[in-house]
Amino acid sequence: MPKTVYLYTVGCQMNVLDSELVASELLAAGYRLVDTPRAADVILLNTCSVRQHAEDKVYSALGRLKHAKQRRRRIIGVLGCMAQKDHQQILRRAPHVDLVVGPGQLGKLHEALETVQNGGGPVVAISAQRAAGSKAEVARSFVPFDVPRRGEVRPVRCQALVRIMFGCDKFCTYCIVPSVRGPEQSRPVAQIEQEVRRLADQGVVEVTLIGQTVNSYHDRSSGGSVRLADLLYRLHDTSGLRRIKFVTNHPNHMDDDLLAAVRDLPKVNPYFHVPAQSGSDRILKLMKRGYSVGQYCEMLQRIRAAVPQAAITSDFIVGFCGETEEDFQQTVELVRRARFKNSFIFKYSPRPGTKAAALWADDVPQSVKLRRNNQLLAVQNAISLEDNQRLVGQVVEVLVEGPSKVARKSSPAGDAPTEIVQLVGRTRCDRIVVFDGSLELAGQILPVVVQRAEAVTLFGALTDNRYSAPVAAAHSLCDPS
Ligand code: 5AD
Ligand code: SF4
């Protein structure tokens, strides 16, 4: 009987990708993936440290798993950023954990599982702490985890994440990422090209290039100099590939040649996620973001001038140390002026190990953080709704991802491919569109007329009703775009 594995993932796209790679490797090693921890011999939690809330969720899950382990012998493992940051604390608070593997050591996971099965646990595999040696030494201890990728373990088969960089060197004062993901390292361009080609051969039509500061990508490994703009040109003609996205951008690396590449390459989506974090110069300085509000707005103008149809999105932290009502109002003002497609808004969460946590009190009360969060979200949502409403009546090109959450809930076992269900997809500007159609349309890019708009979702209908009718031959219809 093959061993069964349940893999639970929280956090960012780096973690989603790491989980896909772990799942691919364990499948190849003969494990079987299961949907519930109850059915699993091995339970792996891929964790996030970016905010306290994400860590609390993992500790409470570990508490529940203690009982699950008492009922039946199982292996419990903690992967990801918490593993790197808190390995000792995890084993102290949850002694039933058998293995702790950091994001830079995932290549050791399979071996660690075998050691534990043979009674040799617990196993701890983590990379060097950032202060433990030279940058090059620490970087070497974050080992790339490259395994053949398997489409069946991806959340959406036709879409794939592709890592182009590891780590971060920015050290924004609130952020734990540079400590847990190590120094910034760009992956060699040839490796990325090969991976994208293989994914396209597997039927992937959209790749999202990911990096903590993706637009600072700079590969010098083969003696030359390849930046993100060059990489986009090199990936663009990959046969079968229809769309290319990249996240997350840093405002200081939004170079004109990158904007020109997005403007000139039809497969590159006109979409920029470029977090501002705050609209107050005083707070930006305390955050050590390296730009002023004025510089950020200039950058927005350059994007809009080069790519007028671009959708721009942002992240904000409210309630950072010492944030006054006036600072917050400046953030509201920036959101009003910038008219982001959407913003992700977070309440500041002090992270032990960061400069902000060491130097400044977390002095904005939780209730004030919550109020500012809701207020900023309301301003952003009103803008998102207004912009989305302008699309009503227009036809947008949608990459069909699969059944919407509603459709998945009403039929968790999956539908017959030709049955009409509620589908979800995205426009080139990353707008979410919901419409009816058959499941076999997943992976196609189809025209949808927008009939109704909410702040985060457009509702529409396929313009060609051949696609929404339950015809067995739907897959043989040509793709109109
Ligand atoms: N508290 C709250 N939000 C944070 N982020 C990063 N660190 C923290 C923190 N300590 C947010 C930033 C970042 C996003 C991924 O998470 O906005 O862009
Ligand atoms: Fe964290 Fe700043 Fe690096 Fe983003 S750029 S990962 S916020 S340190």
Name all residues whose Cβ lies below 6 A of ligand 1. 50-51, 174-175, 275, 277, 315, 317, 346, 348-349, 351
Which segments of the chain belong to CATH 3.30.750.210? Answer: 156-269
**Is residue 479's pLDDT more than 60?**
no
Average pLDDT, integer, range 219-227: 92
Q: How many Å lie between the centroid of ligand 1 and the Cα of residue 380? A: 18
Question: So what's the pLDDT on residue 68?
Answer: 81
The CATH architecture that domain 4-140 belongs to is 3-Layer(aba) Sandwich (3.40)
Which CATH number is 276-295+302-389's, of 1.10.1660.10, 3.30.750.200, 3.40.50.1860, 3.40.80.10? 3.30.750.200
Question: So what's the pLDDT on residue 415?
Answer: 58
The residue with greater pLDDT, 418 or 421, is 421
Contact 90, 97 (CB under 8 A): yes
Question: So what's the pLDDT on residue 225?
Answer: 95
156-269: what CATH class? alpha beta
Which segments of the chain belong to CATH 3.40.50.12160? Answer: 4-140
**Is residue 472's pLDDT more than 50?**
no
Name all residues whose Cβ lies below 6 A of ligand 2. 168, 170-172, 175, 177-178, 212-213, 250
Average pLDDT, integer, range 192-198: 97
What element of type H or E holds 275?
Answer: none
Give 329-377 pLDDT, tens digit per residue.
999 999 999 999 999 999 999 999 999 999 999 999 999 999 999 999 9
> Cα 335–362–288 angle (5° rounding)?
55
Contact 441, 369 (CB under 8 A): no
In terms of DSSP bridges, do strands 185-186 and 226-227 run parallel, antiparallel, or are they unpaired? unpaired
Give 120-154 pLDDT, tens digit per residue.
989 999 999 988 889 999 999 999 899 999 999 99
- Residue 324 burial (CB count, 10 A): 12
pTM given for the model: 0.94
Question: So what's the pLDDT on residue 478?
Answer: 24
Question: So what's the pLDDT on residue 67?
Answer: 84
Q: How many Å lie between the centroid of ligand 2 and the Cα of residue 213? A: 7
Nearest protein CA to atom 7 of ligand 1, as residue = 175
Q: How many Å lie between the centroid of ligand 1 and the Cα of residue 123? A: 30
Question: In whole angstroms, what is the distance from residue 240 CA to residue 234 CA?
Answer: 14
Which segments of the chain belong to CATH 3.30.750.200? Answer: 276-295+302-389
